[in-house]
Structure 1
Amino acid sequence: MTNLLPRLWSFLKRFEARVLIGLFLVAATLLAFLGLADEMVEGETQVIDRQLMLALRTPGDLNNPIGSHGVEEAVRDITALGGTTLVVVVTVVAVLAFLFHKKRIHALVMAGAVMAASLSSNLTKDLFSRPRPDLVPHEVFVYSGSFPSGHSTMSTAAFLTLAMLIASLEMKQRSKALALTLAALVVVGVGFSRVYLGVHWPSDVLAGWCLGAGWALVGWLVLRLLGGQTRGAG
């Protein structure tokens, strides 16, 4: 037993073990997404979806989200972090920055993860064609299907992938943790904002997180397999 933990830790540090773990996590996110989709189609998420959305509205006044007008405006700003325009800008800037520093694999992973997330989000929206919530008034303009949340998918894929790529180049654990923590905060903030603004059910957001995280994990696997990881940074 004394030698078991060191051996286990030594195994987990090996390249093959990390790739296997990555594959497992990708499969887990895909299964989670499919499970949510199945429950959504069967209507099993409807009760909790309604309860969570109503919890963010002033009792007796569904037109008014909880919080002041300043909070509402701040949430609208946060939701823009997952919008197409800002995600494209972040992706282009990141790709150019990686290319400038001769990190071609990093640039490829960044662009590939975001494009794959966008394509899969649009395809699944068309596939499921879930109507937008009509329980409360929408606080921002919407024009596409509800499942999964495109903002949640895109922000998760873009910001988690970017944080992962930055972490792969950093030697300090604190810097890695900072990049990943900031990305997670953005992802959670964008997802919350979609429900707060009444344009997505909570299950839409959760599905978007699963889909986007899956592509970020695929990006991590590609980075590992193509040797883009800085030695000592993994």
Structure 2
Amino acid sequence: MQRFKHHLTRIASATERRVWLTALVAALVAYFLFELTGEVLEGETRAFDEGVLLMLRDPFDPSLPIGPAWLTKMMVDITALGGVTVLTLLVTFVVVYLALRRKFRTAIFVTVSILGGWGLSSAMKLGIARPRPEVVQHLVEVTDMSFPSGHAMLSAITYLTLGAMLSRIEEQPTLRYFFPLVAVVLTLLIGLSRIYLGVHYLTDVLGGWAAGTVWACASWFVARRVLGRPSGR
């Protein structure tokens, strides 16, 4: 009995550390987002941002990206993973999967959380209204505002939230880290592809990552309260 109580104490202590670590990360990223947004609104990052975009283009012809043709094709394919169509399909499939596993509360929570984050992304774009980069040619078609990067923010919100929610229902401890790891890798690749394709400044992507991370952390906190203890823990 004493050993069992000691085991429960260790679990509680580890959980508390994760909570405080997540809170610290969210606070630091939120502060960074606040400062970055201020710098962008004041135009302080423009020279730096344009310099980064030009580094990724042929110095004699800014319309041509550096690297082989297959790299551009790969970046176009990667950036599609952060588009609304792909993300909507992904969220739909995951919600159906959760419903089939009779995780109805989790399915509803995932839907509300991700749709709320998407709404926040649109509001930030309209509120800040930063024009798209013009220093280099866009390699894919874009129509809306630039800051924060919608692909970076929506992919962070969607993939990080889904990764966190799926890890909650995974019973094997070694696999609980797989979903968040995949989410982070996809989010990073999608954001980098937007810079390479010339449709976003680096600070647009950093802002999108930051806003999406804060939203995903907030969703994780709410999930702990609303959905209760993860399965198998």
| Offset of residue 216 of structure 1 | 1.1
Q: Which residue pairs with 1:119 in the alignment?
A: 119
Q: Which residue pairs with 2:148 in the alignment?
A: 148
The count of corresponding residues between Structure 1 and Structure 2 is 224
| Offset of residue 165 of structure 1 | 1.3
Q: Which residue pairs with 2:170 in the alignment?
A: 170
Q: Which residue pairs with 2:190 in the alignment?
A: 190
| Offset of residue 41 of structure 1 | 1.1
CA contact (8 A) 1:87 1:158 kept: yes
Q: TM-score if structure 1 supplies the norm length?
A: 0.88
Deviates more, 1:17-26 or 1:47-56: 17-26
Q: TM-score if structure 2 supplies the norm length?
A: 0.89
Where 1:122 maps in the other structure, the secondary structure is helix
Where 1:13 maps in the other structure, the secondary structure is helix
Match status 1:128 vs 2:128: yes
Q: Which residue pairs with 2:3 in the alignment?
A: none
Q: Percent identity?
A: 32
CA contact (8 A) 1:113 1:218 kept: no
Which residue type is aligned with residue 111 of structure 2?
A
| Offset of residue 35 of structure 1 | 1.2
In 1: Cα distance, 2:219 partner to 2:72 partner: 34
Where 1:82 maps in the other structure, the secondary structure is coil
Match status 1:161 vs 2:186: no
Q: Which residue pairs with 2:78 in the alignment?
A: 78
| Offset of residue 13 of structure 1 | 2.1
| Offset of residue 231 of structure 1 | 3.4
Gaps of 5+ in 1: 1-7
Q: Note closer, same or farther for the CA distance 1:23–1:108 as it changes in structure 2 (3 Å cut).
A: farther
Q: Note closer, same or farther for the CA distance 1:109–1:28 as it changes in structure 2 (3 Å cut).
A: farther
Matches within 5 A, 1:71-110: 71-110=71-110
In 1: Cα distance, 2:70 partner to 2:132 partner: 25
| Offset of residue 228 of structure 1 | 5.0
Match status 1:230 vs 2:231: yes
Q: CA RMSD in A?
A: 1.9
Deviates more, 1:91-100 or 1:20-29: 20-29
Where 1:102 maps in the other structure, the secondary structure is coil
In 1: Cα distance, 2:83 partner to 2:136 partner: 21
Where 1:121 maps in the other structure, the secondary structure is helix
Match status 1:44 vs 2:44: yes
CA contact (8 A) 1:223 1:229 kept: no
